[in-house]
Structure 1
Amino acid sequence: MNISEVKELMAQFDASSLKEFSFKTVDGELAFSKNDHQLVQAQAPFPPVSTPTFVATPAVATTQEEDPEAAQAISKEETPAVAEGEEVPSPLVGVAYLASSPDKPAFVSVGDSVKKGQTLLIIEAMKVMNEIPAPRDGIVTEILVTNEEVVEFGQGLVRIK
């Protein structure tokens, strides 16, 4: 395709009501757009996930009669400690931010007293920053997400007592 053909296509595209046009040939590709958007460099939406490696170990049956201390230690390890309070669930899917910007302090931290409506964190969804308010007055007993973590709908964000 020579330059005069490209110019002719550009003039026809400009006069048309089309917003986008692309043309592919064996020699190359030509694309026009009237949309007012900036080109954004593509980034991976999620951090790479490492696959855990499992090593097979023989199972040893331990009963309380054989070794009561070992059985108690195993049962304590299996039950994780859960902080007191009510979980604040995520109202949408997005990326959680614990502070308004990287150089600012976190909105809340464990032990902070919060008032109803106070911002706990921000969830970015579709380039919109959504403030997540405290549902009631209380004390933050646990923060269940990390900064820039992808959160799902209904996932616990913060626990308030």
Structure 2
Amino acid sequence: MEVTAIKDLMSQFDASSLREFSYKNGSEDLVFSKNESSALATIESASVAAPAVSATPTIAVAAAEEVAPVAAQATGQAEGEEVASPLVGVAYLSPGPDKSAFVSVGDSVKKGQTLMIIEAMKVMNEIPAPHDGMVTEILVANEDVVEFGQGLVRIK
């Protein structure tokens, strides 16, 4: 597959609402994903016959899209322990689109209280507060894709 064709597919993929795209043709595999901080496309070609040498060239094209942090901190980091995401998925701050948020900055929380939901593979996983305290900062926005270990909220 030509590099210009790959670039054209990448721009169409970026403009679409698809989260993942894969294409296979013989010995070529092409995969795009928006589930990470940058999209990655990989092509694997068939082995090139050369005297006693076998090569599988790989072309990697990365879309340079950096996601700006949602919570801008004017005076530095807020106080409290950071609650990290236990899985990769989409964070939801409320139980439904027309419902109020589970917690807001300044709210008191009890151990086990739901802070947010992370959807992974169509399963809604409640994220509980690890201890009693007060929410000092919410580090993600509604419907953000979060990574394993990424900070979600701070509790003091």
- Alpha-carbon distance in structure 2 between the residues aligned to 1:150 and 1:144: 12
- Counterpart of 2:128 in structure 1 is 133
Q: Which amino acid aligns with 1:121?
A: M
Q: CA RMSD in A?
A: 2.4
Q: 1:119 aligns with which of 114, 124, 136?
A: 114
- Sequence identity percentage: 73
Q: 2:18 aligns with which of 44, 48, 60?
A: 44
- Alpha-carbon distance in structure 2 between the residues aligned to 1:88 and 1:80: 20
CA offsets 1:63-121 (integer angstroms, 9 cap, x no match): xxxxxxxxxxxxxxxx8510000000000000000001110000000000000000000
- In the superposition, the TM-score normalised over structure 2's length comes to 0.55
Structure 2 unaligned residues grouped into runs of 5+: 1-15, 20-33, 40-62, 67-73
- Counterpart of 1:98 in structure 2 is 93
Q: Which has the higher strand share?
A: 2
Q: 2:104 aligns with which of 104, 109, 113?
A: 109
**1:142 and 2:130 aligned:** no
4+ residue runs over 6 A deviation: 47-50
Change (3 A) 1:80 1:50: farther
- In the superposition, the TM-score normalised over structure 1's length comes to 0.54
Instruction: Name the SS for the 2:126 alignment partner.
Output: strand
Structure 1 unaligned residues grouped into runs of 5+: 1-41, 53-78
- Alpha-carbon distance in structure 2 between the residues aligned to 1:50 and 1:149: 18
Q: Which amino acid aligns with 1:132?
A: I
Matched positions, count:
94
